[in-house]
Amino acid sequence: MKFIKLNVSLILVILFLLPFKGLAQEKGLTLALFDVDATPPIGSLLAYDPLEKKDDLGLRAKGVIISGSGLPIVICAIDWIGIANESQDAFKSRLAKAASTLPSRVAVHTLHQHDAPISDWGAEKILKDAGLDPKAYESSFDKVLLDNLEEAIKNALKDPKPITHIGKGKGIVEKVASNRRIIGADGHVAYTRTSATKDKKIRDFPEGLIDPEVSLVSFWNGEEPLAVFSYYAVHPQSYYLTKIANPDFPGIARYMRQLAVPEAMHVHFNGAGANVTAGKYNDGAKINRKILAERLAKGMKDAWENTVKTKITDQDVYWQQEPILLPPKENLPGIAQEMRTQNARWLTNNVQKLAWYNRHALGKKIEISCLTIADVKILHLPGELFVEYQLAAKAERKDLFVTMAAYGDYGPFYIGPSSAYSEGGYEVGTSPVTEAAEPIIMGAIKKMLHRKITDIETESPMVLEAESQTPLRTLDQWKAKKTSWKNNMASIMGTLPSRSHLANPELIYGDSVITENYTKHHISFASDERNEVTAFLYIPHIIKSKAPAMLVLHSTGDLGKKIVDDQGPRKNRGLAKELAERGYVVIAPDYPSFGEQKEHDFSKDGFESGTLLAVWNHMRSVDVLSNLEQVDPDRIGVIGHSLGGHNALFVAAHDPRLKAVVTSCGWTPFDYYDIGEAGIKNYGGRLGPWAQDRYMPSIKKLLPEAQLPFDFTQVIASIAPRPVFTNAPLNDSNFSVEGVKAGIAEIQPVYNWLGFTDNLQVKYPNAAHDFPENTRQEAYSFLDNVFGITPIKKLEFEK
């Protein structure tokens, strides 16, 4: 009996300790592993041939989820030839959903061996819309793989392993890589050394420019290796067009290392190998696949044996990304006509370029990223990069362990350095980008390699669980935190009515004014059964593809929307007019009780506050913009000054369709809001002005010493990581600049934690309650950069 009691006690102790063991793991860095079969069924189309047989190794989709430093980071390598454009969006979105993180914190790469599938849902749509067979772009198996990856990631996260150390090692790979471009005496490409080069004369040329190093990055739990990432730059085929799905010699080398170190999962990434092949050492003989694999595996083995381990914490892990817009060649639209008469192989090599070009026209950027772990920098790059980029990145920070995975977004295909475009050759001839790509890519690489890593600041209350010192770890937890802030806002503003089953607003057009650069329409529409919106709608005369759009909100004044049309007595207020001249589609509504809404009766509008009615009307204005044929609905922002400045924040907090926010003289934390003794007496309390019917009348019951359950810091944090630009003049008598500085310091850890440090911008001009020209120029440049546009016209103060 005594023995039984002892066992029961032990069991109770164990059960009591188990949760604490789990919590201890949750507080640190963890690694979860996933490995999925990526081989399509027999009969499927690979990039160039139908699949008739499977290789013994098959194709894999392998990766890891790193948790414990901001939101989870997902890195995945797939044995396919390429994943491009809309497919990259889809893969990142699904993997992010599975890991409860943001798509921007997901990197998806392909090995790029040629006997494998290609994926581009944008190219598939182009072909289908043209009435053509999508052939290799048919996406049914893509969706199967995504389902399997999502399930694998969810299962992996049930059993994460602690990460205590990072390992790094390098080895030299001999007699595998050689540069494919052989330059003649005239400075132009004389010969091309393909993956399998039959001509001995071409094989006998020197190796040329390569990166002979294979780099290994390993993740450890104490003495246990969990995963090994290998990076090597070479076109990864010995021979292809076999109609057999296989990972070629890099996949075999990876498998050999898996056998040698079975405790860890091995994941291989192709580096910047666009102009590097095995052609010097491969004449296409089948035996060479084994020989090349053994040579690469030997380099991997050396790198493993040279590995040095470093102890790490969550503060050593940092994720950053830089969105870039690469310059396209002007002839790309011609693919749309040419594709009607071309064969399947031509379609595989070209239609994704047209899909990328179409995305470029909409300002859709490619995010390149960098994972920092202590002194290790892993760069994630798009397309088929020349090896010059990899060598330049390593040379840029010789003090760090820098490595590179290319073949991320496959849309831009070959990307050479500027010098290669004058040399000619297949790669730059078929490249869809111009020589101007190099400074853009290298600028982003250098910025990430030299960025001073910001502490994740997991002790900031903004990124802690409610009433807990436990840092948030997932997107679901972050969404719950934002919901609590939104509920606090609703307790003062009220709750928005349901937007389900809302019909698109029916516009009533009044007078129109045609200017040199745009047409301004006077419009009105019902926002619901009780309320109406009156607004100016500006349509630029020149619109390339679909234009970005802006919701422009005016400051306090009887003129209402006329203020932002530059009809008011004060300068620096014509935001709507200026943005329309620069090429944005603009809608500028009246705030209830101003302009044409001057006689608005707040007791009859059905809303709990004037602020909430304004948010509703502004969202209905976004509905208008989203449904205009001239507008790209994925590129809509909001800007406002003073009254418009804080309402820009309020509407963005409620409407995720607003992708960028500019707030001028619009906020300071409520503790810093000071209207002076006379104002307090006049309004019944320090926050009395906010209690007017046109704002948030429920504040009246909290006066005179109102303590609101929400603040502007939470409003802006709930908008994160979307870009927010604040104009906070040093002499603003309405909104304390010291409060803004304190608020920015409180909000910045949120942007750091989400991995978008630069998306929170603030300027402090030496001005009063104003939006001076130089700051407006910075704000407009900020919007142009977010939306990926070059303005059609520069304003006088921008020249």
Is residue 19 predicted with pLDDT exceeding 90?
no
Show Cβ contacts of residue 731 under 8 Å, excluding neighbours closer than 6 positions.
Answer: 737, 766, 767, 768, 769
Is residue 4 predicted with pLDDT exceeding 70?
no
Reported as type and span, the H/E element at residue 141 is helix 140-156
Is residue 18 predicted with pLDDT exceeding 50?
no
pLDDT in tens, 395-409: 999 999 999 999 999
pLDDT in tens, 359-394: 999 999 999 999 999 999 999 999 999 999 999 999
Question: And the tokens for 674?
Answer: 């000071």
pLDDT at position 458, please? 61
Reported as type and span, the H/E element at residue 87 is helix 85-99
Is residue 542 predicted with pLDDT exceeding 50?
yes
pLDDT grade, residue 453 (50/70/90)?
confident
Which tops the pLDDT comparison, 770 or 9?
A: 770
Is residue 498 predicted with pLDDT exceeding 80?
yes
Where in the chain are the domains? 13-450, 461-467+502-669+711-788, 678-710
Taking each helix axis from N to C end, the angle separating 475-493 and 712-719, rounded to the nearest 10 degrees, works out to 140
Reported as type and span, the H/E element at residue 216 is strand 213-221
pLDDT in tens, 322-338: 999 999 999 999 999 99
Which residue, among 500, 490, 521, 769, has the nearest Cα to 653 in the 3D structure?
490
Buried b / exposed e along 73-92 (16+ C-beta atoms within 10 A) = bbbbbbbbbbbbbbbbbbbb
Question: And the tokens for 558?
Answer: 């009887």
Show Cβ contacts of residue 785 under 8 Å, excluding neighbours closer than 6 positions.
Answer: none
Is residue 270 predicted with pLDDT exceeding 70?
yes
pLDDT at position 23, please? 33
Mean pLDDT of 434-443: 97
pLDDT grade, residue 13 (50/70/90)?
very low
Where is average pLDDT lowest: 17-21, 607-611, 770-774?
A: 17-21
Render 338-392 in DSSP notation, one character per residue: HTTS--HHHHHHHHHHHHHHHHHHTT--EEEEEEEETTEEEEE--SEE-HHHHHH
Kindly report whether the peptide bond that precedes residue 704 is cis, defined as omega within 30 degrees of 0: yes
Is residue 15 predicted with pLDDT exceeding 90?
no
Identify the architecture of domain 461-467+502-669+711-788 in CATH: 3-Layer(aba) Sandwich (3.40)
Question: What share of the chain in percent tops pLDDT 90?
Answer: 92
Is residue 8 predicted with pLDDT exceeding 50?
no
Mean pLDDT of 14-30: 49
Q: What CA–CA distance (Å, rounded) separates 15 from 12?
A: 5
pLDDT at position 27, please? 65
pLDDT at position 10, please? 39
- Provide the CA 483 distance to its chain's centre, in angstroms: 23
pLDDT at position 464, please? 87
pLDDT in tens, 279-325: 999 999 999 999 999 999 999 999 999 999 999 999 899 999 999 99
Helical segments of 554-600, H only: 575-581
Mean pLDDT of 440-461: 85
Q: Tokens 């109770």 map to which residue? A: 12
pLDDT grade, residue 2 (50/70/90)?
very low
Beta carbons of 165 and 179 less than 8 angstroms apart: no
pLDDT grade, residue 452 (50/70/90)?
confident
Question: And the tokens for 527?
Answer: 């926002």
Which amino acid makes up residue 401?
F
pLDDT in tens, 38-48: 999 999 999 99
Kindly report whether the peptide bond that precedes residue 656 is cis, defined as omega within 30 degrees of 0: no
Is residue 5 predicted with pLDDT exceeding 80?
no
pLDDT in tens, 417-428: 999 999 999 999
pLDDT in tens, 46-104: 999 999 998 899 999 999 999 999 999 999 999 999 999 999 999 999 999 999 999 99
**Torsion (CA) 87, 89, 92, 97 in degrees, nearest 10:** -110
The pTM for the full model equals 0.93
pLDDT in tens, 673-702: 999 998 899 999 999 999 999 999 999 999
Is residue 711 predicted with pLDDT exceeding 50?
yes
Per-chain mean pLDDT for the chain: 94
Where is average pLDDT lowest: 129-138, 169-178, 675-684?
A: 675-684
Where is average pLDDT lowest: 11-25, 515-529, 558-572?
A: 11-25
